[in-house]
Structure 1
Amino acid sequence: MLKKITDTALQIVEGAGGIVGFRAGTEEPLYVLEELLGDVEIRRYGPRIAAQTAVAGDEEQARSDGFRRLAGYIFGGNRRQTKIAMTAPVAQKSEKIAMTAPVAQSRGAGGESVIRFFMPSKWSLELLPEPDDDRVELVEVPSETYAVLRFSGDRGPDAVAAKTTELLDSLRDSSFAPSGEPVAWFYDPPWTLPFRRRNEVAVPVG
């Protein structure tokens, strides 16, 4: 039943957001813009909570599988059956976990993709319902400063790799040094028209 609800809800969103995606009215993690290095933004983020899952396979398939797995959690695949509130009508009851942006993708220690949904700011780790799927975990993301490069259009592995190289090259002669692994952030679903997409590559800096 949960899978049917999740698939139906995703189909509704696909239909409603086929042109522009689901970003309108979607909460994003707050940050302070500390500096600009050409097209690169230095952003300081506060602590956040995320639901994450590790997925094997190529990057694009892993992103799709991870998205659906995490969507299952916020659509009610949790111990309290708390459901999401989205821009298209979805059956709701009790409390709501709202969709936030971006969806984050990085590499785990074993080479698998780690996909994250950031939770709305009103939730704490103690108050969020426990996932039914043991492949989904809730984690605290500490306060960090990131160098971020925004781009639109293609967000396949080659495009992400090229933009990551561009980002790292931009930091070479600056006072900011990478202090961790790069991550990709995606603000729109894959059916969004390429020129409307907001994509970012980011790397923690010290």
Structure 2
Amino acid sequence: MGCAHAQDSIEQPKYDVIKQSDGVELRNYAPYLAAEVTIEAGSSDEASNKGFRQLAGYIFGGNQRADKIAMTAPVTTQAKSASTTIAMTAPVTTSKNEDGAYTIQFSMPSKWTMDTLPIPDNDKIELTEIPAEQRVAYRYIGTRSEALIKEAAAKIEDFRKAEDLEAASSLIVAGYDGPSVPQAQRRWEVMQIVKRSVQ
């Protein structure tokens, strides 16, 4: 499941690129709404698969009005931490804390508000407002491998140090393409929320 190629017709969170270097971008994201679920699992892949199925159930009609909600991109996975506010948009994100808890997130299409979004049938799914935030992001094409994610994380850390930016979240892994896209052609982004710089 998921969005087949993340094309222009699929809504994504809105952002402006304010600086870029060596493939890394510093972005200002606009506020958006999201549906998210916290999953306890032994790996981010396991958490992402379980969380995706639950969130997909919600947007495909598993809610009190049986409304269909358009798929967005990306899907993000982020390690959940008691000290970290997790803010994600279109991707589905997965994150992990010391206890193996991950937050998987779908951003909601911009036509919806907190008042109009249908209530999920699954009480583990939370609807939340994500505030405007600044993120550092690195994009790559290929598989979701630990080696490539570590490489992206190193580039993000180098960029943050060069720009004197302080991390405000754990790493976020954002996937843009569904299983119909060959693994070698899938778009991924590794991101990190940072304390807003003066721009």
Q: Same fold (TM over 0.5)?
A: yes
Q: CA deviation at 1:189?
A: 1.8
For 1:178-193, list aligned pairs within 5 A: 178-193=167-182
Larger radius of gyration: 1
3-state DSSP of counterpart to 1:163: helix
Among candidates 115, 118, 130, match of residue 141 of structure 1: 130
Q: Match of 1:108?
A: 80
Q: CA deviation at 1:166?
A: 2.5
Among candidates 8, 12, 35, match of residue 28 of structure 1: 12
Contact 1:46 1:143 in 2 (8 A): yes
For 1:1-206, list aligned pairs within 5 A: 10=1, 21-24=4-7, 25-57=9-41, 58-83=43-68, 97-109=69-81, 110-206=99-195
3-state DSSP of counterpart to 1:64: helix
Contact 1:60 1:156 in 2 (8 A): no
Hey, what's the Cα distance between the residues in 1 that align with 2:37 and 2:166?
A: 28
3-state DSSP of counterpart to 1:204: strand
Q: TM-score, normalised by structure 1?
A: 0.79
Runs (4+) of structure 1 exceeding 4 A deviation are: none
Identity percentage over the alignment?
35
Gaps in structure 2 of 5+ consecutive residues: 82-98
Structure-2 change in CA distance of 1:156 and 1:38 (3 Å): closer
Bigger Cα displacement from structure 2, 193-202 vs 137-146: 193-202
Hey, what's the Cα distance between the residues in 2 that align with 1:174 and 1:43?
A: 13
Q: TM-score, normalised by structure 2?
A: 0.82
Q: CA deviation at 1:191?
A: 4.7
The number of aligned residues is: 176
User: RMSD over aligned Cα, in angstroms?
Assistant: 1.7
The residue type equivalent to 1:133 in the other structure is N
Gaps in structure 1 of 5+ consecutive residues: 1-9, 84-96
Q: CA deviation at 1:190?
A: 4.0
3-state DSSP of counterpart to 1:203: strand
